[in-house]
Chain A
């Protein structure tokens, strides 16, 4: 259970969670609960494979994932910010819509009810072998994982800086805590919340793209609750990026262990529960001791 291969897999499993959890964080910090992350993740995964399928370029696929995420989150933003509808209801509706729509479009595009044909994955960032020792060193560090793994890790630190060191971050956090206060200071609460929700869509969409590109195809309902697990990780990480990173690595590890244990005699049904059980245990341990943004979930 502690082989290097497990840690290796853990980081890959954690990557979509990290991006999605960061997304959830921007949204909730602005005061909008984004349970639609699950659907956004799924849509992002689907869009990335469609784009890669037609262009042959997984980077175009990644961009398509982001775009799809932003579009889906735009629905959530309009419904919950402009029309002040219940954010949970809107999120659940989007998740159901995403599940049905991606499956339907899979059938329309590829004539399959289950999955897309395989597409090219993302090439690792490597230097040519001819560069010698330098290339070997760089490749061992940077070339080991798909590029989006590094993008996700960088996003954690960038998010941290944005949230705690920029005027935008200060306003976003204040909006999630006390929107009236922000409004009286002449900051537009709506704009801040739109920014938070759309950013969350972009990040979760990219997370979906990684999820699909890493397996080189789209499989129906492939998000499999990862959007919810990412939300749990965000809560477990106390609504801050470094905490969320740690929580995602833990959940990613559970998922890797789960995959490692399959076919080793333990009934798969139990093995497959591991990440979800861990999520619940973590939440039970942490709930009541953390504090969500005060205005999170409250329409303004």
Chain B
């Protein structure tokens, strides 16, 4: 009897020391469908997929692939059973070529022991042209864009004969154009008979692409629905367990004096390549400037220069009219610059330190937290208790290590620390990356609150929707330059996406200084 289901998981349970990641989870994926699994971070989606793929053994439960029972399997067994996984963090070896990455572990051979490089190349080329991937088998991974890297991942699983593809958060790092290209590919794969499971928390994509949806919350399945018969609001409710504000309410900005002015800023990278070139920016008090762009186009470096973490090669940074170029991070912080770094675990927190200690980092050397070079632990704890209460941090304990908090609460610790003490400029880099919807809501509200209290906000984000809802003005970075700036509300995702690929030419001919609202302003093309 041919099984109608490509994947059947029954009663999957997996516990970790402090959480039950999967609690009696059932999953049915029909052959030839695109099935979305949605849920917040920590809902157990990734654990479920790791169990399916054989990377993590479940405590209990049963798994069938196309009717065949898998028991205590390893990834190699899953691969043999026709399963292929495209991981959220790409599993590609940068220093190897496309073809080498594809055949790794299952290399075509000549004379038994040597790799048949010609055959490898040929196989990659064939798969690439079959689905329109446009991949050069001899290119090194490190030279590829993120979109192309993802295609290499897909070719990798197809090369292994996968009939069932799992994609873990496939669109998180892509531009809108790349996302629509990916969807074309996924639909083509479905036509070719593949079954596709994709994990996401972006509800628009679920509605657009999926046939059916499984929703997870706190390690359990909270709903299985047909995508055509559901709405974003319903899905969000199943994900979070309550009604969620999907759109942030925002009053128009009342911009004041210029807080930050950047003129002709340039910076060079490790190999002497230009990572920032001729960047001009201006942010006024009480407004949010969003910086959009594909990761790796200079946003990180811009933030680093502004916060004193990286040296400027040329140009100047003026804070309230005073030149702060080249000052140390501490000096810049002392001038009222708050920073939410993009990598919260590496730069935002000391994970081994307690919440209380993390909440004073950067100000620990000043009164009231120290006196005559000695920390005042009472003041630090008291301060922590206050911020924990105000920001609803969980668990409400100042003495736990920051590393034991959930991603959302870690981010809340940073936000609480940085917003404390009325900053004049707020530099927020990917402030909601990898945090759950509840914390996203909190971060967004806090950012706007700071704005309304007169702070200038620089928001760098890879999430276009975040940029579009929060920003008063939007700058797009490409290749280390600002290639376009727009008034918020006057631009759609398509145009922004196009500008992010460096292909924006719209403003160059139609530029008119008289009407800034209607025409995007293009600088330094």
On whether A178 and B79 interact (CB within 8 A), knowing A167-B109, A167-B115, A186-B105, the answer reads: no
A92 at the interface (CB under 8 A from B): no
Closest beta carbon of chain B to A182's beta carbon, Å: 7
Interface residues of A in 281-300 (CB under 8 A from B): 291, 294
User: Do A178 and B91 touch across chains, with their CB atoms under 8 A apart?
Assistant: yes
A173 at the interface (CB under 8 A from B): yes
A166 at the interface (CB under 8 A from B): yes
1/0 per residue A227-245: CB within 8 Å of B?
0000000000000000000
Look across to chain B and name the residue whose beta carbon is closest to the beta carbon of A187. Answer: B105
A38 at the interface (CB under 8 A from B): no
Q: How many residues of A contact B (CB 8 A)?
A: 20
User: Do B107 and A180 touch across chains, with their CB atoms under 8 A apart?
Assistant: no
Look across to chain A and name the residue whose beta carbon is closest to the beta carbon of B74. Answer: A186
User: Do B106 and A185 touch across chains, with their CB atoms under 8 A apart?
Assistant: yes
Question: A64 contacts which chain B residues (CB < 8 A)?
Answer: none
State A173–B93 Cα separation when bound (angstroms). Answer: 9
On whether A170 and B96 interact (CB within 8 A), knowing A184-B85, A184-B91, the answer reads: yes
Question: A173 contacts which chain B residues (CB < 8 A)?
Answer: 93, 95-96
A165 at the interface (CB under 8 A from B): yes
B55 at the interface (CB under 8 A from A): yes
B76 at the interface (CB under 8 A from A): yes
User: Do A183 and B114 touch across chains, with their CB atoms under 8 A apart?
Assistant: no
B100 at the interface (CB under 8 A from A): yes
User: Do A187 and B104 touch across chains, with their CB atoms under 8 A apart?
Assistant: yes
User: Do B94 and A177 touch across chains, with their CB atoms under 8 A apart?
Assistant: yes
User: Do B75 and A165 touch across chains, with their CB atoms under 8 A apart?
Assistant: no
1/0 per residue A53-94: CB within 8 Å of B?
000000000000000000000000000000000000000000
State A162–B93 Cα separation when bound (angstroms). Answer: 18
Look across to chain A and name the residue whose beta carbon is closest to the beta carbon of B87. Answer: A184
B450 at the interface (CB under 8 A from A): no
Closest beta carbon of chain B to A291's beta carbon, Å: 8
Closest beta carbon of chain A to B65's beta carbon, Å: 15
Closest beta carbon of chain A to B271's beta carbon, Å: 9
On whether A166 and B114 interact (CB within 8 A), knowing A177-B93, A178-B91, A178-B92, the answer reads: yes
User: Do A166 and B106 touch across chains, with their CB atoms under 8 A apart?
Assistant: no
Question: A165 contacts which chain B residues (CB < 8 A)?
Answer: 114-115
User: Do B114 and A174 touch across chains, with their CB atoms under 8 A apart?
Assistant: no
User: Do B94 and A170 touch across chains, with their CB atoms under 8 A apart?
Assistant: no
User: Do B104 and A174 touch across chains, with their CB atoms under 8 A apart?
Assistant: yes
Interface residues of B in 66-125 (CB under 8 A from A): 74-76, 79, 85, 87, 91-96, 100-101, 103-107, 109, 113-115
State A181–B75 Cα separation when bound (angstroms). Answer: 11
1/0 per residue B153-167: CB within 8 Å of A?
000100000000000
User: Do B113 and A181 touch across chains, with their CB atoms under 8 A apart?
Assistant: no
Question: A12 contacts which chain B residues (CB < 8 A)?
Answer: none
User: Do B93 and A166 touch across chains, with their CB atoms under 8 A apart?
Assistant: no
State A184–B162 Cα separation when bound (angstroms). Answer: 14
Look across to chain B and name the residue whose beta carbon is closest to the beta carbon of A164. Answer: B115
Question: A177 contacts which chain B residues (CB < 8 A)?
Answer: 93-96
Question: B87 contacts which chain A residues (CB < 8 A)?
Answer: 184
A170-B100, A177-B96 given; 5 more Cβ-contact pairs under 8 Å? A165-B114, A177-B93, A178-B93, A182-B105, A185-B106
Q: Residues of A with Cβ closer than 8 Å to B?
A: 165-168, 170-171, 173-174, 177-178, 180-187, 291, 294
Q: List 25 A-B contacts (CB under 8 A).
A: A165-B115, A166-B113, A166-B114, A166-B115, A167-B109, A167-B115, A170-B100, A170-B104, A171-B104, A171-B105, A173-B95, A173-B96, A174-B104, A177-B96, A178-B92, A178-B94, A184-B53, A184-B55, A184-B75, A186-B74, A186-B75, A186-B76, A187-B105, A291-B95, A294-B95
Identify the 10 closest CB pairs spanning chains A and B, nearest first: A186-B76, A185-B105, A181-B91, A167-B107, A187-B105, A177-B93, A178-B93, A174-B93, A184-B91, A186-B75
